Structure 1
Amino acid sequence: MKYRVLIVDDEALLVRTLSQAFRDAGYDVVTAGSAEDAKEILDSTEAFDLLLLDNRLPGKSGLELLGEVGKMPETRIVLMTAYDTDETYKESIRLGADLYLSKPFDLKALLSKASELVAKGAGA
């Protein structure tokens, strides 16, 4: 089974790096540069197995997007941020994030954790 991931970040280099890493790991990859673009993609396509979501985006934040889309039982959600705070962490978990990552993070560790999350989600 090939998993689908939506990567939402406005940092082009990080998007390219994550996209390549997840493609190499066998995922189908879709990207968006804003919460608004991501919402449009989420509303108009099949469910994703994994959502990698930056918090600080142009326009709406990642947390605002999480609040709009609500809990997505079929999708594991990773909130990424370079601006780590206890409030952001607590709010991300309350809104349904499965994992909270502070940037910079270890790419191999993210791929490993993502694999665990989507496998758990597929069994749910």
Structure 2
Amino acid sequence: MDRLKVLVVDDEERMRKLISDFLKIKGYETVEAGDGEEAIDVFFADKEIALIILDVMMPKMDGWEVLKTVREHSKVPVIMLTARTEETDELKGFEYGADEYISKPFSPKILVARVEAILRRSGVNQNEVVRVGGIEVDKSAHSVKIDGKEIELSFKEYELLLYFIENKGIALSREKILNNVWNYDYFGDARTIDTHVKKLRAKMGTKGDYIKTVWGMGYKFEVEEKA
């Protein structure tokens, strides 16, 4: 299997090397960029980049602008790195399409674990198609079709739908969803889940009714089988 490639973007060379070294130990290939403009150039020149680790505070173009530019053209998973801890910044990151949000200082081992989890859930190198109740999820293409028509989902919406489908018929607490879709050490507001579920339901049309609210707990994905 070819090694997956990760773009590491940070204006501190020491930080880039630290992250890259840990990723290489785990068998990943890395490319680096020292500012936002360079990150854009590198990303669009290399179609093999499977994930981006992106610092927020950088010269020339900050991480938010890089993320917005990338999201206009790609659903590649993005992990944001920041020294800030304000909730508004974290919500801003998810609003712009970030998939994970890690505050500095952080454990490189935890960062690598998140990279592995995201790539595993995103279906990289998987050739599996999941079908249920008129919904078709192609893990390798990272696409979702409803009644044969493809719908546009953000990376997090895709992960959430896949998690629901893989746990069909099971009542899932918001805490459990956070732990599995947003990762076990994410301490954000559980309302983040409600926001994503609302958007996901809307994009799924009538199939959105498969996502049932379990009052006081969370959600359950149930498909009504035809007689």
Work out whether the TM-score is over 0.5.
yes
Aligned match of 1:93: 94
Aligned match of 1:30: 31
Counterpart mapping for 1:1-124 below 5 A: 1=1, 2-70=3-71, 72-73=74-75, 75-121=76-122, 122=124, 123=139, 124=142
Q: Secondary structure at the match of 2:49?
A: coil
Moved more, 46-55 or 28-37: 46-55
For 1:64 and 1:97, locate their aligned partners in 2 and report how far apart those are by CA, in whole Å: 12
Report Cα offsets for 1:23-64 as digits up to 9, x if no partner: 111111000000100000111111411100000001211011
| Residue-pair matches, total | 123
For 1:48 and 1:88, locate their aligned partners in 2 and report how far apart those are by CA, in whole Å: 26
Tell me how far 1:84 sits from its aligned partner.
Answer: 2.2
Moved more, 52-61 or 84-93: 84-93
Taking only the aligned residue pairs, the percentage that are identical comes to: 28
Structure 1: runs of 5+ lacking an equivalent: none
Normalising to structure 2: TM-score of the pair? 0.52
Q: Bigger relative contact order, structure 1 or 2, given CA contacts below 8 A and separation 6+?
A: 1
Report Cα offsets for 1:67-87 as digits up to 9, x if no partner: 1121632x2110000122222
For 1:10 and 1:78, locate their aligned partners in 2 and report how far apart those are by CA, in whole Å: 16
For 1:88 and 1:58, locate their aligned partners in 2 and report how far apart those are by CA, in whole Å: 18
For 1:9 and 1:100, locate their aligned partners in 2 and report how far apart those are by CA, in whole Å: 15
Moved >4 Å (runs of 4+): none
For 1:109 and 1:56, locate their aligned partners in 2 and report how far apart those are by CA, in whole Å: 21
Q: Secondary structure at the match of 1:49?
A: strand
Letter in 2 for 1:35: G
For 1:55 and 1:47, locate their aligned partners in 2 and report how far apart those are by CA, in whole Å: 23
For 1:79 and 1:102, locate their aligned partners in 2 and report how far apart those are by CA, in whole Å: 8
For 1:76 and 1:114, locate their aligned partners in 2 and report how far apart those are by CA, in whole Å: 9
Letter in 1 for 2:15: L
Letter in 2 for 1:20: D
Letter in 1 for 2:16: V
